[in-house]
Structure 1
Amino acid sequence: MPGHELRYDVNCSILFTELPLLERPAAARAAGFDAVEFWWPFAEAVPPASQVEAFLAALSDADVQLVGLNFFAGDMPGGDRGVVSWPTRSAEFRENVELVAMIGAATGCRSFNALYGNRIPDIHPGTQEETAVANLAFAASAVARIGGTVLVEAVSGPQPYPLRTATDAVAVLDQLLVERDIRNLAFLADLYHLTVNGDDVPKVLTEYADRIGHVQIADAPGRHQPGTGEIDLDGQLGQLERAGYRGWVGLEYLPSGPSAESFDWLPRHRRGGGADQTNEGDG
Structure 2
Amino acid sequence: MRIALNPIQWMASDDGWLDPSRAPEREQLLSLIKQAGFDSVMAEVPADWTVERYRSVVDGVGLTLAPGYFVCRSDGRDGNEDAVVASAGAVARQHAELGLTQIGLGLAMGKDMPRVAHPARAYDVDPTRVEAVTALIGRIADTMLAEGVRPNLHPHVGTWIESEDEGRAVLDALPDSRLGFLPDTGHLAWAGSDVGKFVADYAERIPFVHVKDCRLSVATRGREQGWGYQQTVLDGLWVEPGRGELDLAGIIGNLPGDFDGWLMVEVDRPDIADCYESAVASARWMHTTFGNASS
TM-score (norm 2): 0.70
Change (3 A) 1:272 1:258: farther
Deviation, structure 1 residue 13: 3.6
Q: Distance in 2 between matches of 1:174 and 1:60?
A: 38
1:246 aligns with one of 240, 260, 283: 260
CA distance in 2, matches of 1:57, 1:72: 25
What are the Cα deviations for residues 61-110 of structure 1, in whole angstroms up to 9, with x where unaligned?
A: 3332222211245xxxxxxxx43635332233123122212211221122
Partner residue, 2:58: 59
Q: Give the deviation of 1:54 after TM superposition.
A: 4.5
The equivalent residue for 1:277 is none
Q: What is the rounded CA distance, in whole Å, between the counterparts of 1:60 and 1:149 in structure 2? A: 24
- Alpha-carbon distance in 1 for matches of 2:62, 2:94: 16
* TM-aligned CA deviation for residue 151 of structure 1: 1.1
How many angstroms does 1:138 deviate by?
A: 3.0
The answer to whether the 8 A contact 2:41-2:66 is kept is yes
* Aligned counterpart, 1:192: 186
Matches within 5 A, 1:1-283: 6-15=1-10, 18-38=23-43, 47=47, 50=49, 54-73=53-72, 82-83=73-74, 85=76, 87-117=78-108, 128-129=129-130, 131-156=132-157, 159=158, 161-177=159-175, 183-221=177-215, 222-240=237-255, 242=257, 244-253=258-267, 254-255=269-270, 256-262=272-278, 263=282, 264-267=284-287, 273-274=294-295
Give the aligned partner of residue 227 of structure 2.
none
Distance 1:148 1:224 in 2: 31
Structure 2 CA distance for aligned equivalents of residues 203 and 126 of structure 1 = 23
User: How big is the shift at 1:225?
Assistant: 0.8
- Counterpart AA for 1:251: V
CA deviations on 1:9-68 (whole Å, 9 max, x unpaired) are: 100344576422343222222223222115x665xxxx45x4655444432333322222
Q: Counterpart of 1:239 in 2: which secondary structure?
A: coil
* Cα distance in structure 2, aligned partners of 1:84 and 1:68: 24
Identical residues among aligned pairs (%):
23
User: Is the 2:138–2:178 Cα contact (8 Å) retained in structure 1?
Assistant: no
Whether the 8 Å CA contact 1:32–1:271 is kept in 2: the answer is no
Q: Could you tell me which runs of 5 or more consecutive residues in structure 1 were left unpaired when the two chains were aligned.
A: 1-5, 74-81, 275-283
Q: What is the CA distance between 1:194 and its match in structure 2?
A: 1.1
How many Å apart are 1:197 and its aligned residue?
Answer: 1.1
Could you list the per-position Cα deviations for residues 216-270 of structure 1 after superposition, in whole angstroms to 9, with x for gaps in the alignment? 112112211112211111222233254x432101101133232332223234895
How does the TM-score come out when normalised to structure 1?
A: 0.72
CA–CA distance in structure 1, aligned partners of residues 9 and 41 of structure 2: 11
Distance 1:245 1:60, change over 3 A: same
CA distance in 1, matches of 2:160, 2:132: 14
CA deviations on 1:129-159 (whole Å, 9 max, x unpaired) are: 4553443233222332443210112212xx3
**Residue type of the alignment partner of 1:30:** Q
How far, CA to CA, are the matches of 1:271 and 1:9 in structure 2?
A: 14
Q: Match of 1:261, SS?
A: helix
Q: Which moved more, 1:144-153 or 1:56-65?
A: 56-65
Change (3 A) 1:273 1:217: closer
Matches of 2:141 and 2:33 in 1, distance apart? 29
Aligned-partner SS, 2:59: helix
Do the aligned partners of 1:9 and 1:34 also contact (CA within 8 Å) in 2? yes
Distance 1:234 1:15, change over 3 A: farther
Across the two proteins, how many residue pairs are aligned to each other?
A: 246
Alignment RMSD? 3.3
Structure 2 distance, partners of 1:197, 1:84, is 19
Distance 1:145 1:260, change over 3 A: same
